[in-house]
Structure 1
């Protein structure tokens, strides 16, 4: 069922990074933007990156899933292109944006979703390699795409950038190491862009997901189970006990929040960090 009976993003061209997983936040965002009326370009790593594999879940595991995301957008009556993109490559990001401009037009909605949990873990256990990999994907990846789309948005004098951070970007918990550092950096990036480009008609906001039931969410369960010597079901129970609404989040929960922030209903929202977490952690505003 479409999320919207009207199309608040009709005529907009959106780009969503990290959209190549069947059970992923990126696909949830892409479909929500399509439901809201946007044409949606979807990207993900074209080949598997073994260095970013966590509990057997890696980036670029199944390139066919990226095209499947594009097919689902097209089924909603919107245009879509699926393009391989490693967000750590600034030149590749610029090339993708240029190609989209040639084929569809200027991108005026960017959802910076691509990310990795490779930097999570006890602080003293993390290597410089994992800290660096985490920063390159989670922070520089968003910087690269933002730099690439801003000239077009400035030309249009409109645009909406929605960054994906985490509740670990507005709070902190032991055992999440470099991931916490990265996600706090995205909050700072969001607020910087909101102030610098708001006067040019470009709004920048962020969503801060909590526990979302994705492939990587299940990998997080495994890590928690191993850390505390419990089984997977007990690990899930421990996670759910911290969520006031009593359920896991789903990719469409994040997608609907991104679509709202990108649309006309949020025209006066700029520099906001919107938790999509069911109220976790307690007291989060």
Structure 2
């Protein structure tokens, strides 16, 4: 470990965070873990860590073994904090309970929950999406976050200043054709965020969400392919078109999202019920 990589100021020192969906190398979840680690938090790193063909989207890999989770935890520990990797499929409440129990057994507390896990399943024209896909999208993208929040709540309340950050999407604030069940699921996450901020504020729990726009990840690449299909152009042309719609002139990075999460987890002590777009200034759909 290089001490020069550890910042002198660590605003989350003494805090414990659990981050779901953090096992993929190019994913937002891993970037969130590393940003929280740099800020001093101890981390419980979770992801599905098993094969689930039912929610697999072509071009968007899943974390289907412990390898990715262990790599994320190892990278986090290089920042001088504690990090453990725990397999957790968020559609299984018993696995959620086990992951949170591991946090309490290892660190004695839970202060920060980041609901990042999700699936891009359910994109496509509305009339083409089958009921099975609607149910799976809802089960993973919405009920997974609902269950995780429910299990974590008593521990976050005990911490005195617990916080939840949900990863929504600009498609949770807007509607664009071709995104089907994903749009509905992310709108539900926005609603969940606002509900829990209202209900759990008196318990000392802040609840906010990040709404990423075009982010340079596997899912972002898949989104560009969808845009190319919808506009009947190639992916290079779709990418160029997207860039013209972003006032800042570039795609976002996982670190852009992660830094916003870390701010919400730490110094934003009077911010709750906010849906924070991280999208380079894009105005999209009905937003």
Specify if TM > 0.5: yes
Counterpart secondary structure, 1:15: strand
**1:55 paired to 2:58:** yes
Match of 2:136 among 133, 136, 161: 133
Q: Contact conserved, 1:50 with 1:58, CA < 8 A, in 2?
A: no
Match of 1:216 among 215, 219, 222: 219
Counting only pairs closer than 5 Å after superposition, residues 1-285 of structure 1 correspond to structure 2 as: 5-61=8-64, 63-263=66-266, 265-281=267-283
Unaligned runs of 5+ in 1: none
Whole-angstrom CA distance in 1 between matches of 2:238 and 2:205: 41
Counterpart secondary structure, 2:192: helix
Q: Contact conserved, 1:49 with 1:60, CA < 8 A, in 2?
A: no
Normalised TM-score (structure 1): 0.95
- Quote how far apart the aligned CAs of 1:284 are: 8.7
Deviations 1:259-281 (A, max 9, x none): 00000x20100100100000112
Q: Contact conserved, 2:12 with 2:39, CA < 8 A, in 1?
A: yes
- Quote how far apart the aligned CAs of 1:103 are: 1.4
Whole-angstrom CA distance in 1 between matches of 2:284 and 2:205: 32
Q: Contact conserved, 1:18 with 1:43, CA < 8 A, in 2?
A: yes
Q: Contact conserved, 1:190 with 1:271, CA < 8 A, in 2?
A: yes
| Distance change >3 Å, CA 179–CA 283, structure 1 → 2 | closer
Counterpart secondary structure, 1:59: coil
- Quote how far apart the aligned CAs of 1:63 are: 3.5
Counterpart secondary structure, 2:148: helix
Whole-angstrom CA distance in 2 between matches of 1:49 and 1:2: 37
> What's the Cα RMSD here?
1.8
Q: Contact conserved, 1:49 with 1:58, CA < 8 A, in 2?
A: no
Unaligned runs of 5+ in 2: none
- Quote how far apart the aligned CAs of 1:91 are: 1.4
Q: Contact conserved, 1:111 with 1:164, CA < 8 A, in 2?
A: yes
Q: Contact conserved, 2:224 with 2:239, CA < 8 A, in 1?
A: yes
Whole-angstrom CA distance in 2 between matches of 1:4 and 1:112: 26
- Quote how far apart the aligned CAs of 1:125 are: 1.0
When structure 1 is superposed on structure 2, of 42-51 and 109-118 the one drifting more is 42-51
